[in-house]
Structure 1
């Protein structure tokens, strides 16, 4: 299938795009800070603020470390802010935490039905996340859309990290598409800038993550309330 705008493939971000960020990740962020601080409550608050999250309200700033960073970047930021670990130690702890967090994630919609409908229309589908690949696969399996994916890329999959274009170019290589045939869908500017850097046909922002219409306007072609509005745009 080719949409009227020439889009044949759709590459989704995971957190804040397929999953409701506040419901899925704010609790994980509190646990992340507790682990990084070794149960020191005062230090945990410092680490959350360093990551861009208000420890009292749970609000995460758009494009902050916790909103857009990959595991290594988050671990590095926490160590620089005082976490008593090496970056390597904390990265390993965070990767384990994030993989297990799939059990508590809250989807934006019925993801199995959502992906089935797009697959039935002939779209090539992929997920590109700053999370690790294992977490993406666990999430896809849990919510029943793993069989519809042509491509999965995490920060540790070898395609580079956001906002570099590698994950989009890897999707193109896996599906035989050109970047102009691909829509990149995400909730923060790392996703939008990744799409633009790769020459994607469309960059589509959603508001189920940490971004706002104002923060996402500059780099997105469309800004939607959530992914359920996607087919109308395509």
Structure 2
């Protein structure tokens, strides 16, 4: 029996996990810089560098602010680097941009078909993101998997932020599962450390985000090219859940 055989619920990160990070978020990051710099091109470049992104190539450093931070953390980092806003005002601007960006996102696979498959096998499914909850729900609706979700948590949903364990524990409370019955899937160490700190049964890294096999190996039980490889990994029906 493998660790995967004991899993009854799967909690996914969104950006870089369900959505291709480079295709979906690098253009958004440039817009973040433009907004935060009020159109000052030199300042925008400085802010992107502070966030962990090369403004020339679009490369985002694994586990950097733009790779793993929530909206408030990104706003704080940009203000500290010289953005002429308060953190509160910039957070509001960023949350609005992120919610609208769901319409431009690029999925890593047919998410409706993928979630339908895992739902049919009896898994409890959720999304926990450092983005805001409205953006997660907009993404789920756009790609047609909202009806398969048992749980949604953003940085603003009241469960705390990554890498704290609260989002995983909230998923357990919503589904009746114990942490050891949950797999946490993500593209950066904030996701994996969240899973480990909550006592998740399995942590799974995927390479559709900003992380690499090297950067993600220590905190993951499995490192996959993308979420489609979860279908053979969790090939059977979900393990039996506790009796209520």
Q: TM-score range by the shorter chain?
A: over 0.9
Question: What SS does structure 2 have at the residue aligned with 1:220?
Answer: coil
Measured after TM superposition, the shift of residue 231 of structure 1 is: 2.0
Question: What SS does structure 1 have at the residue aligned with 2:63?
Answer: coil
Question: What SS does structure 2 have at the residue aligned with 1:30?
Answer: helix
User: Would you say the 8 A contact 2:53–2:59 is kept in 1?
Assistant: yes
User: Would you say the 8 A contact 2:126–2:150 is kept in 1?
Assistant: yes
The 5-angstrom pairing of residues 182-193 of structure 1 reads 182-193=182-193
Alpha-carbon RMSD across the aligned residues, in angstroms, is 0.8
Runs of 4+ aligned structure 1 residues displaced above 3 Å come to none
Distance 1:4 1:145 in 2: 23
1:216 aligns with 2:210: no
Q: Equivalent residue for 1:180?
A: 180
The count of residues paired between Structure 1 and Structure 2 equals 232
Which stretches in structure 2 are left out of the alignment for 5+ residues?
235-244
Question: What SS does structure 2 have at the residue aligned with 1:27?
Answer: helix
The 5-angstrom pairing of residues 1-234 of structure 1 reads 5-234=5-234
Note the alpha carbon deviations across 1:125-168, whole angstroms, 9 max, x for none.
00000000000000000000000000000000000000000000
User: Would you say the 8 A contact 2:4–2:202 is kept in 1?
Assistant: no
Note the alpha carbon deviations across 1:15-70, whole angstroms, 9 max, x for none.
00000000000000000000000000000000000000000000000000000000
Which stretches in structure 1 are left out of the alignment for 5+ residues?
none
Note the alpha carbon deviations across 1:171-199, whole angstroms, 9 max, x for none.
00000000000000000000000000000
Measured after TM superposition, the shift of residue 5 of structure 1 is: 2.1
